[in-house]
Amino acid sequence: MINYLEIGATIFGLMQGILVMFNKRSNWIAYSIQMILMIIFSFSMHLYGDVTNSAIYLVLGIIGFIIWNKKDEKDIKECSRKERIIYCLIIGISTCIVFAILNKTDDPLPLLDAFTTTSSFVATYYMMTKKIDTWIIWFINDIFYAIEYFILPEQAWSLFLLNVVWTIMAIISYINWKNIMKGEK
């Protein structure tokens, strides 16, 4: 059953990645389905940070779908220097807090799980609010997620490969969103 969950999450993750790369609102539907599959998968792998992460993402996927209405489709902005400092601090401090919690569980990779969990929240927030910085955060996050799924005791090959693809897609998405921003000016 774990393989089916992993493969299903991978398929919906690829669909979501392609749709968001092209700034399509329907990405949030694939995103929400992926999160349902990830909740079940992560729980079975004892990745409790990822379970919490995916449950919150499910809610954020619904909110993202509502926020991304048609008239705002191309309204992409950059974070200010202050926002960048703030999100780096949030990721750093939150990673330490979540690591302290996960380190007391049977989570096999508490530090990686803590970092990917907290940076994912920040990246999702900026994706919901259409800030191009989301792709910088996702790029770094996807690299660490790929490492996490690769070194898990029971390797999650489909999710590892998905995060390798997402790393590449983060670069393409950044370029696409940058071009959309240039077209707005």
Q: What average pLDDT does the chain have?
A: 89
Asked whether 177 and 135 are in contact (CB, 8 A), the reply is yes
Phi/psi class of residue 180: alpha, beta or left (left: φ > 0; alpha: ψ in -120 to 50)? alpha
- Residue 74, domain member (yes or no): no
**Assigned token pair, 184:** 């707005």
3-class DSSP state for residue 23? coil
In-domain check, residue 99? yes
Over range 142-153, report the average pLDDT: 90
10-52 confidence digits (pLDDT tens) = 899 889 989 988 888 899 999 999 999 989 988 888 878 778 8
Which helix (H) or strand (E) is 73 found in, with range?
Answer: none
Q: Report if residue 145 sits inside a domain.
A: yes
Structure-block tokens of residue 51: 């379970």
The CA-to-CA distance between both ends of the chain, in Å, stands at 49
Identify which of 142, 144, 160 has the alpha carbon closest to the alpha carbon of residue 20: 142
Does a structural domain hold residue 131?
yes
Contact yes or no for 73/23 (Cβ under 8 A): yes
Handedness of CA 98, 156, 176, 53 (dihedral sign): negative
Q: Give the pair of three-digit tokens for residue 84.
A: 């960048």
Q: How many domains does the chain have?
A: 1
What is the pLDDT, as a whole number, of residue 72? 57
Is the whole-model pTM more than 0.85?
no
Does a structural domain hold residue 162?
yes
In a domain, 178, yes or no: yes
Expressed as residue numbers, the domain containing 113 is 2-69+79-184
Q: Quick check: 131 and 76 in contact, CB under 8 A?
A: yes
Residue 138 pLDDT > 70? yes
